[in-house]
């Protein structure tokens, strides 16, 4: 718990429950960011595959 308290701003002044809640919310935030980046990556790749498919089947 001491390590978590050092990672979270103000963690030294929080209870264990508060630190765990803040840590959980931060992990959820990071997971959402990963999902957004993965969707963005797919949107950039998809047009390339569509173009390649058209060239192959021309």
What pLDDT was estimated at residue 48? 55
**What is the 8-class DSSP label of residue 8?**
S
Average pLDDT, the chain: 77
Helix, strand or coil, per DSSP, at residue 9: coil
> Domain spans of the chain?
2-56
Cα 5 → chain centroid: 22
What pLDDT was estimated at residue 31? 92
Query: Can you give the pLDDT of all 58 residues of the chain as single tens digits?
Result: 788 888 888 888 889 899 899 888 888 998 998 888 888 776 665 655 555 555 554 4
Helix, strand or coil, per DSSP, at residue 14: coil
């Amino acid at each position: 718990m001491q390590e978590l308290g050092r990672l979270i701003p103000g963690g030294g002044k929080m209870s264990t429950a508060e630190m765990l809640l803040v840590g959980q919310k931060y992990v959820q935030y990071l997971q959402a960011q990963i999902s957004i980046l993965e969707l963005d990556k797919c949107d950039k790749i998809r047009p390339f595959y569509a173009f390649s498919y058209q060239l192959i089947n021309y």
